[in-house]
C-alpha cells in the first residue's frame, strides 16, 4: 500500500509543481547572504565582565579529564560556562592505545564537549571556544585567547579576551622529551586522537611498504621494527596492543611479512615502576612471551630512521612511539603564579591558586604547594577526574552561597578540602591479560591481580567510565567486532 | 574462585621468575635486527614473468568498484592476483556523503582489499602493492609502478616493474573541473574517504569559528555558507545530508549559530538530469523545503573565500564541495591505446583493449569503442560492479581453458559479450526521503518512487551491498545510533 501511496504522492507533487519554476531566481535565493553582508555588525572582540542580570561566568581552560568532569558537574542554573580549548572533545585516554591498532575506533574514545555539558551549546551565555589560551591576567580577571584555524588556509587566527568570574585552569601537561634531540620531529606521542591516527596510518603503511618489490632485507626489518620508549602504563599497554595485533591480525593479513615484525620496549628503569613487584614480573613475563623485546637503556639521540642509546647502540626503527611521562606546558611555565614542585601551578587544599582571587587549578597542570605539606599527586586520569568532581561541587557551593561573582567569595565557607584516595592502578598487557593493583600506595599492602579476571575487571571498569551511553555502546560494539571479525586494517 | 586462581597464578609466576633477569641483555634482544641487517639480501626490483611452476598472474590496477568486484570473483586456484593501487581499501561511494556529517562512520564505508580477496595477503604469489601505476608497456607485458610513501617523511618513493599474464585496467576516473581556476585549490571533491574527512573537519571548524568573539556578521555568514556545485546524485545526496544535519543536529548543538547556516546547490542545468521528471520535481521541492537554496548558474572562477558565477555574481562560501562529474585521469590520457568517446580506454564487447594481447579495461576508465556501435555507459558504481563480475567470470573461463598465460588465449572461446542492463537509479534527498528510478533508460517507462518507501528501499539495497558482514553490521549500528543519539560532532 505504501508503494501505491508513494506513487500517488509523486503524481500530486507533479501537479502542484507544474506552475512553479523549479529553480528560484538567483537573486532571491541568495538574499540571506546579501542582507547579512550589508549589516556589518561587528561583534565585540571578546566577552566583557558579566552584568548583574547575567549569571556569573566560570571559564574553564582545557578539555581533559579534569576540565570535562568539572563542566559535567557544574550547576548551569547558577553559572554560565565558557570553555576554551584547542579540541572540542575529551579523549578517553586509557583506551587510546587500543585505537592505534584498530581494536577500538577513534570516535569511540572521543566525547564531544556538547554531550558532556549540553548547556555549553544551548544556553545564551555559555560557549565553547576552539582556541588556545595565550595569557592570563589575574589582576583584571581576564583570559587572553587565540583562535585555532588549522584546516582553513584562508583564515588567519585572531585574538580575543574573556572576562571571568571564576577561572579554572585545567590545561593538562605535555609529553616530556628531556631535551633529547629529534624526539619532537621523529617520534609520535600518544596523548591525542590524532596521535593514534598517525600511528595507525604509519604502522599500516610500513606493513605495506615492507612487502614491496625492490626493498632490501635491511630496510624491511627497519620498517617493521616498532619501538616504544617509556615503560609506564601507556608504553606497556601500547606494546601489548601492538603485539596482540601482530600475533592475531598481521599473521593472517600480512602473511608475507609476518615473521619480520618486532616490537621493542625501551625503558631506563623498570617497567610499570608504580605497580606491585609481582605484577611487574608478571607483566614482564607476559610481554616477553608475546614477543615484545624489553630493553633497558637510555635514549641519547633520535634520527629519522634510527635512535641511538647511551651506550652507542643504534636501533633502526620504522615506528617510534614516545611515552616517557609528562611535564608542564610552556603556558603553565609562563604563568606568574606560585608553583608547586615539578613546575606545576601551586594550589592550596581547596585547589585554589593562592594570592589571587577566583583562580583554581586542577588536573595534571596543578600540584599542592609545598606549604600544604601534601605530596604531588601522579598525573593520572583518576586524579584529574576526582579533582574535577570536587571543583564542580566547590564552585556550586560557592555559587549557592552568593559568592559566584568575581571578588565576592571571600566570606564563603569552603567546606572539606580535597583529599585524594587512590583506588588502584590498572594496565592491560595485551590479549585478555591485565594488571589491577588495588593498593592505596606503593608501600601499602592490598590486592594485586593479574590475568583474565583483571582483564575483565579492567574492561568493565573502563566501559562504565566512558561517559556517554553512545560511546559505551560503541566501545562494546568495537570489542565485539574485533573479537568476531578481527581488527580493521583499511588505511584511511 | 577465578579471583583466587589469579592470585595463585601471580605467586607461582613470581617464583618462576625469581632466577631470570626481567630484562634480557640488550645485545641478545636486538639480534633479530643485526642478523637481518647483515644479510643484505637484495629483493628483485619487481616481479618477473611467471614461471611454468607458478600460477599465471592477473594484475589489477585500481581498487574501486570494478577492480574489487573482479578480485572478489577471480578463481585464486587458477590465478595469482597482484593489485596495484594508492589505497588499500575500496570506498563504498554511495554512502560516502553520509560520512561527511557523521551519519555514518568513515570505516563503515571502507572495505580493506584483504577482506575482499583474502588470497592477496596469504598466497605466496599474490600481492597488494600500495603504489601508483606510472606506465604500461603492452609490448613486453609490463606495468611500471611507483610506491606511495605519504606519511613517511624519511622515505623517498621508488620504482618497480610487474610482469603480467593478464592486465585489467580499472583505474577509475577523476573529478572534472572544466579548467576552472581555483577548483583544485579551494574546493573539496567527494570521491575518497579523506575528502569526506576534510569536509567534516572543515564543517565543524566553521561552525565553531562562527561562534567566536570578534567575528563580523559578514564573516559569520560566509563561514556558515556551504556551497555544493553540481546537481548530480552525489551533489544532491550531500546537500540533503547537510540540510538534515543542520535541521536535526546543528539546531540542538550549535544553538548560537543555527539560523545563520545555509546550503546552496549550484547547477548549470537541471538537478538529477538522468532521473524521471516527476522524481526531479519531487527532489527539487524536498530540497527547497529542507532549506537548500537551488541556484542555476555556471561557475567561472573560484577564490579562497568566494566563487564567481558567469553573470558576475559573487558567492562567498565557508565550505565548497565540487561534484560535477568525472573524466579520464592523466594516466589514462597518456596510454597509447585506442580510445572510446570521452577519452576513455576503448574496449570491445568482451571488454578487451583491441590490438594488444591480454589487456582488459573495466569501470569508469573504459568505454565501448565506436566500432562496437554500443553507447558509452554512465560512470556509475552499478556499471563498474557488473563489469568487474563479468571480467572475473571471463578470466576464470580463459584460465580454465588453459589460456591464462601471456599470449596464450588466442584460441579460447570467450562466450557471451558484456551486456549492461540498468537496474535503476537511486538517490537520497535527506531525512527519510529518497528517489528510486527503476526505468531501464531515460526514455523508457518504468517505476519511479519517492518518499519514505524508497528511502527504505535505498537503505536496504545499500545495506545488502556493503560487501563484508562487518561493515553491514557497522552501517546498521551507525544508522541506529544516529537515530537514537544524533550525529557525532567531535572534531578529531
* One-character DSSP codes across B422-434: ---EEEE-STT-E
Q: Are A491 and B89 inside 8 Å of each other by CB?
A: yes
Q: Which long-range contacts (CB under 8 A, 24 or more apart) does A31-37 make?
A: A32/B221, A32/B262, A32/B293, A33/B221, A33/B225, A33/B262, A33/B315, A33/B316, A36/B217, A36/B218, A36/B220, A36/B221, A36/B260, A37/B217, A37/B218, A37/B221, A37/B316
Q: How far is CA B101 from the centre of its chain?
A: 17
Mutate to test the interface with A, among B214, B223, B254, B282 (most CBs of A within 10 A): B214
CB atoms within 10 A of CB A387: 27
Mutate to test the interface with B, among A2, A5, A8, A10 (most CBs of B within 10 A): A10
Looking at every residue in chain A, the average pLDDT score rounds to: 84
Question: With contacts defined as CB-CB under 8 Å, which chain B residues touch A40?
Answer: 216-218
Strands (E), A154-279: 159-163, 166-169, 174-175, 225-229, 262-267
Which of B368, B400, B389 minimizes the C-alpha distance to B467? B389
β-sheet with B319-322: strand ranges across: B292-296, B262-267, B225-229, B319-322
Asked if residue A449 lies in contact with residue B2, where contact means CB atoms within 8 angstroms, the answer is: no
Question: With contacts defined as CB-CB under 8 Å, which chain B residues touch A460?
Answer: none
pLDDT score for B275: 83
Mean per-residue pLDDT for A429-455? 71
Asked if residue B256 lies in contact with residue A127, where contact means CB atoms within 8 angstroms, the answer is: yes
Question: With contacts defined as CB-CB under 8 Å, which chain A residues touch B44?
Answer: 213-214
**Strand (E) or helix (H) holding A70:** helix A65-73
Give tens-digit pLDDT for A375-397.
989 888 889 999 999 999 999 99
Question: With contacts defined as CB-CB under 8 Å, which chain A residues touch B37?
Answer: 217-218, 221, 316
**With a CB-CB cutoff of 8 Å, which residues 285-314 of chain A face chain B?**
285, 288, 293-297, 304-305, 309, 311, 313
**Structure confidence at residue A264 as a pLDDT band (50, 70, 90):** very high
* B1 contact A CB<8A: no
Q: What are phi and psi of B327, to 5 degrees?
A: -140, 180
Asked if residue A387 lies in contact with residue A363, where contact means CB atoms within 8 angstroms, the answer is: yes
Asked if residue B293 lies in contact with residue A26, where contact means CB atoms within 8 angstroms, the answer is: no
Using H for helix, E for strand and C for coil, what is the string for B439-492? CCCCCCCCCEEEEHHHHHHHHHHHHHHCCCHHHHHHHHHHHHHHHHHCCCCCCC
Question: With contacts defined as CB-CB under 8 Å, which chain A residues touch B295?
Answer: 23, 26, 29-30
Among positive and negative, which fits the CA dihedral B389, B392, B398, B402? negative
More confident residue, A59 or B277: A59
Shortest Cα–Cα distance, A160 to chain B (Å): 7
Q: What are phi and psi of A489, to 5 degrees?
A: -120, 15
Question: With contacts defined as CB-CB under 8 Å, which chain B residues touch A282?
Answer: 9-10, 13-14
Question: With contacts defined as CB-CB under 8 Å, which chain A residues touch B256?
Answer: 121, 124, 127
d(CA B467, CA B94): 13
**With a CB-CB cutoff of 8 Å, which residues 40-79 of chain A face chain B?**
40-47
Shortest Cα–Cα distance, B230 to chain A (Å): 14
Tens of each residue's pLDDT in chain B, 492 residues: 333 333 333 333 333 333 333 333 343 444 433 333 333 344 447 899 999 999 999 999 999 999 999 999 999 999 999 999 999 999 988 889 889 988 888 888 888 998 899 999 889 999 999 999 999 999 999 999 999 987 666 678 899 999 999 999 999 999 999 999 999 999 999 999 999 999 999 999 999 999 888 888 999 999 999 999 999 988 998 999 898 888 888 888 888 888 889 999 999 988 888 888 888 888 899 899 889 999 999 999 999 999 999 999 999 999 999 999 999 999 999 999 999 999 999 999 999 999 899 999 999 999 999 999 999 898 888 899 999 999 999 999 999 999 999 999 888 899 999 999 887 777 777 766 777 777 766 666 666 677 777 777 766 766 666 567 777 777 778 878 777 777 777 777
Q: Are A13 and B112 inside 8 Å of each other by CB?
A: no
Shortest Cα–Cα distance, B484 to chain A (Å): 9
List, in sequence order, the alpha helices (H) in B43-192: 65-73, 96-99, 113-116, 119-122, 183-186
* A490 contact B CB<8A: yes
A289 to A292, A431, A432, B22, B357: CA distances (angstroms): 7, 11, 14, 12, 53
With a CB cutoff of 8 Å and minimum separation 6, the contacts of B242 are B100, B101, B203, B226, B228, B263, B292
Q: Are A41 and B154 inside 8 Å of each other by CB?
A: no
What SS3 state is found at A349?
coil
**Structure confidence at residue A177 as a pLDDT band (50, 70, 90):** very high
Which of A196, A148, A156, A191 minimizes the C-alpha distance to A173? A191
Beta bridge partners of B128: B83
Residue A215 has pLDDT above 80, yes or no: yes
In angstroms, the first-to-last Cα distance of chain B is 43
Question: With contacts defined as CB-CB under 8 Å, which chain A residues touch B106?
Answer: 492
How many helices (H) and strands (E) are present in chain B, helices listed first?
17, 24
Mutate to test the interface with B, among A159, A212, A222, A478 (most CBs of B within 10 A): A212
pLDDT score for B469: 76
Shortest Cα–Cα distance, B39 to chain A (Å): 7
Ordered by where they begin, the domains of chain A are 46-173+328-400 (3.50.50.100), 183-325+423-485 (3.50.50.100)
Strands (E), A154-195: 159-163, 166-169, 174-175
pLDDT score for A76: 96
d(CA A422, CA B338): 74
d(CA A452, CA A433): 5
Q: Are B30 and A151 inside 8 Å of each other by CB?
A: no
Query: Which of B46, B110, B208 shows the shortest C-beta gap to A214?
Result: B46
* A419 contact B CB<8A: no
pLDDT score for B151: 65
Reported ipTM: the value is 0.83
| DSSP-assigned letter for residue A141 | T
* A110 contact B CB<8A: yes
Shortest Cα–Cα distance, B433 to chain A (Å): 11
With a CB cutoff of 8 Å and minimum separation 6, the contacts of B65 are B90, B93, B363, B381, B384, B385, B388
What SS3 state is found at A55?
coil
d(CA A276, CA A460): 22
* B215 contact A CB<8A: yes
Residue A364 has pLDDT above 90, yes or no: yes
What SS3 state is found at B345?
strand
pLDDT score for A226: 96
Using CA atoms of A231, A237, A243, A247 in order, give the dihedral in degrees to the nearest 10. Answer: 160
Shortest Cα–Cα distance, B361 to chain A (Å): 24
d(CA A354, CA A340): 11
d(CA B124, CA B77): 12
Which of B450, B429, B430 minimizes the C-alpha distance to A9? B450
Question: With contacts defined as CB-CB under 8 Å, which chain A residues touch B469?
Answer: 485
Amino acid at each position: 500500500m505504501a508503494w501505491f501511496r508513494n506513487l500517488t504522492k509523486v503524481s500530486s507533487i507533479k501537479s502542484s509543481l507544474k506552475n512553479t519554476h523549479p529553480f528560484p531566481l538567483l537573486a532571491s535565493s541568495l538574499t540571506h547572504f546579501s542582507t547579512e553582508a550589508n549589516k556589518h555588525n561587528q561583534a565585540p572582540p571578546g566577552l566583557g565582565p558579566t552584568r548583574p542580570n547575567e549569571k556569573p561566568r566560570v571559564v574553564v581552560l582545557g578539555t581533559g579529564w579534569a576540565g570535562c568532569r568539572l563542566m559535567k558537574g557544574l550547576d548551569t542554573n547558577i553559572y554560565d560556562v565558557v570553555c576554551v580549548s584547542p579540541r572540542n572533545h575529551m579523549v578517553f585516554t586509557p583506551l587510546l592505545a587500543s585505537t592505534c591498532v584498530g581494536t577500538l575506533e577513534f570516535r569511540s574514545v572521543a566525547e564531544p564537549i556538547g554531550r558532556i555539558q549540553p548547556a555549553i551549546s544551548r544556553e545564551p551565555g555559555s560557549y565553547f571556544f576552539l582556541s588556545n589560551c595565550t595569557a592570563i591576567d589575574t589582576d583584571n580577571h581576564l583570559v587572553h585567547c587565540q583562535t585555532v584555524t588549522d584546516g582553513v588556509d584562508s583564515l588567519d587566527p585572531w585574538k580575543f579576551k574573556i572576562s571571568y568570574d571564576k577561572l579554572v585552569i585545567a590545561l593538562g601537561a605535555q609529553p616530556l622529551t628531556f631535551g633529547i634531540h629529534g624526539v619532537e620531529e621523529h617520534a609520535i606521542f600518544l596523548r591525542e586522537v590524532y596521535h593514534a591516527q598517525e600511528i595507525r596510518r604509519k604502522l599500516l603503511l610500513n606493513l605495506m611498504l615492507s612487502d614491496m618489490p625492490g626493498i632490501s632485507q635491511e630496510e624491511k626489518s627497519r620498517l617493521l621494527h616498532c619501538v616504544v620508549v617509556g615503560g609506564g602504563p601507556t608504553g606497556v599497554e601500547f606494546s601489548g596492543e601492538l603485539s596482540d595485533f601482530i600475533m592475531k591480525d598481521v599473521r593472517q593479513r600480512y602473511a608475507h611479512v609476518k615473521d619480520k615484525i618486532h616490537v621493542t620496549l625501551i625503558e631506563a628503569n623498570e617497567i610499570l615502576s608504580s605497580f606491585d613487584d609481582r605484577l611487574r614480573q608478571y607483566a614482564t613475563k607476559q610481554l616477553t612471551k608475546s614477543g615484545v623485546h624489553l630493553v633497558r637503556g637510555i635514549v641519547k639521540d633520535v634520527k629519522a630512521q634510527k635512535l641511538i642509546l647511551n651506550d652507542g647502540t643504534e636501533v633502526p626503527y620504522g615506528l617510534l612511539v614516545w611515552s616517557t611521562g609528562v611535564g608542564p606546558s610552556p603556558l603553565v611555565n609562563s604563568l606568574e603564579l606560585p608553583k608547586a614542585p615539578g613546575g606545576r601551578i601551586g594550589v592550596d587544599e581547596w585547589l585554589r591558586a593562592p594570592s589571587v582571587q577566583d583562580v583554581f587549578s586542577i588536573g595534571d597542570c596543578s600540584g599542592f604547594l609545598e606549604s600544604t605539606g601534601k605530596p604531588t599527586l601522579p598525573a593520572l586520569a583518576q586524579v584529574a577526574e576526582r579533582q574535577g568532581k570536587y571543583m564542580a561541587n566547590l564552585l556550586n557551593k560557592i555559587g549557592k552561597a552568593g559568592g559566584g561573582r568575581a571578588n565576592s567569595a571571600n566570606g564563603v565557607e569552603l567546606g572539606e578540602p580535597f583529599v585524594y584516595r587512590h583506588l588502584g592502578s590498572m594496565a592491560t598487557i595485551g590479549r585478555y591479560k591485565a594488571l589491577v593493583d588495588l593498593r592505596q600506595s606503593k608501600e601499602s599492602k592490598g590486592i594485586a591481580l593479574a590475568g583474565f579476571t583483571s582483564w575483565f575487571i579492567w574492561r568493565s571498569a573502563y566501559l562504565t567510565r566512558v561517559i556517554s551511553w553512545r560511546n559505551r555502546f560503541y566501545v562494546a560494539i568495537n570489542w565485539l567486532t574485533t573479537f568476531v571479525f578481527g581488527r580493521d586494517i583499511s588505511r584511511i
